[in-house]
Amino acid sequence: MPVETWLIFLLGFMILGSIVALEIRDILSSIVAVGVVGLALSIAFLFLQAPDLAVVQFLFEIFALIILVCAFVRKEFHALEPARASRWIFGFTLIGLAAILALSLKVFRLLPAFGRPLMEVSRHYLEHAAAETGAANVVTAVILDYRAFDTLGEITVLLTAILGTLTVLRTRARSGKGGDR
């Protein structure tokens, strides 16, 4: 089978999984459904010839699952059912999103066709990465040599997000009885 068939199947599966995750009542099932979507994305990366991304997506999906379960799955959290959106908001949203999808169909024709990327810059990367950086993995060469500045910014963003998380969670721990900080 060609790659497109597999990818269409996987994307349909992901859309189905997302809808299930959003509509199901139980919050643990919802989180697990999103995890399944992420694993399907990891397989899709394998089909798209990106083993780097498949490994990283797989591991991070597991980790996101653990974070969400740690944070949200306790019995008393969902004692009372959250209200559903009113029928008017629901209908308007559906119509609006369908209109967006219908109107954007023309845009996708303008994009380069699937399987034929432009590769203006990347050709240089592929041809000269071995000589210029000495790394066999071209993706790593791009991340840490050609575009290391991006990675510095990425690390800064990650540091900020983690600091924000720890700060938001911290105030009670300081006033509480646990004195391990």
CA 17 to chain centre: 14
> Closest approach of Cβ 28 to another protein, in Å?
10
Looking at the Cβ atoms of 1 and 70, the one nearer to another protein is 70
Return d(Cα 83, Cα 129) in angstroms, integer. Answer: 55
At residue 17, the 3 state secondary structure works out as helix
Q: Which amino acid is at 59?
A: L
Question: In angstroms, what is the minimal distance from the CB of 143 to another protein?
Answer: 5
Measured from the CB atom, the residue of 1 and 112 that comes closer to another protein is 112
Say if residues 114 and 4 touch (Cβ distance below 8 Å).
yes
CB of 1 to another protein, least distance (A): 14
C-alpha 18/C-alpha 38 separation (Å) is 10
Task: In angstroms, give the least distance from the CB of 181 to another protein.
Answer: 8
Shortest distance (Å) from residue 66 CB to another protein: 6
Which residue, 1 or 176, is less far from another protein as judged by CB?
176
Cβ density class 104-130: b for 16+ within 10 Å, e for less: eeeeeeeeeeeeeeeeeeeeebeeebe
Between CA 138 and CA 129 the distance in angstroms is: 6
